[in-house]
Structure 1
């Protein structure tokens, strides 16, 4: 973030609190329900806690100078949108949809788990926030097609904005074979030596037969040209000889 005027909200202490959501500032909820994680799923958060989250973001936005901003670019559909609507309604908003919020809405529509007591309220809020944005940025063409119906927004306000990167910091380079292997696998072992017949003029060898239990298949060299003398180990017969 070098060169940017960053106004950070520190949740370190909240993450370690006995009840992270009751801390000051309250630890931010999640669109995913992960037992034991400090961030509870939004759909389980009650109205009083929702108001605390809105108050937190109203204060943070004010400190960052939101009232004087040309626009607010807000990631995800979270209570920061409610704070912007209530306290800075004159500032245009661009919402950025990353997909996890859509996954939570999908699960609510399919039937929210028992612990998601406030699922319907959160679904209504998230759709209202999306509908009040001047533009919605999404990460894929599939999301461009999906988001209008999912969130009830005008398709003309949904814009495909792929994730970018800094080519000065990230660039391609050839990967060595160990780097190309799948993550988490042990290092590749050196290949085993391959069994090969001993060098020499003899081409006759015996290998176990796949069809005769105790027999063998005798492989013979092709018949030499008429002008050549037969070499040791060759035969005038070109077919395999099977015997016991």
Structure 2
């Protein structure tokens, strides 16, 4: 059973953080590598590599380790995390860190949804229900990195939401083969994080990076990563600047 406490905090919008603080203090975050296989079922490291380096990148950008969980759902991992435990872990951290929500899931996908562990699949309807229950009306950013992940945009959209996906609803994404270091979209997010000023800049840089890599490698049809930004988030996101060493 998902448990969450919902508190809407508006007074801080646009306020500058105190010295030593981040604009993402009080944000709950979860980064989940939800698959570990190629399309042929062979084990690969790309999803877990992405989880590891996305976690480091977003911590450097200002998210707090105390309010972040990261999981791999591969069954041979140490420790092993079930799909249910990952959802519960995100709900638990969101119950105490109530200023905002950030969820990043990297996996294989289809028009019906994404793989979520050895036997589970998360549909767009199920994902929307999860985010509604855990995050409520607080500012929320959701990234779904998978083939056909554009199918998640409609259900996740809302005034308080930003949604980033690795592909259009009818397109595959790339980089899940045995020789891949990261899925291409995740790699572009990791590459772009150190210089992006905020989530809007990050989404634009990742799309540009994916397009350039696909064109350079002659990959077609293009995955065309998607971005949705609700009206409330259009005002808020420019104030949520990532931490930088000089700041």
TM-score (norm 1): 0.29
Q: Name the structure where strand makes up a greater proportion of residues.
A: 2
Query: Quick check: which has more Rg, 1 or 2?
Result: 1
Higher relative CO (Cα under 8 Å, sequence separation at least 6) belongs to 2
TM-score (norm 2): 0.28
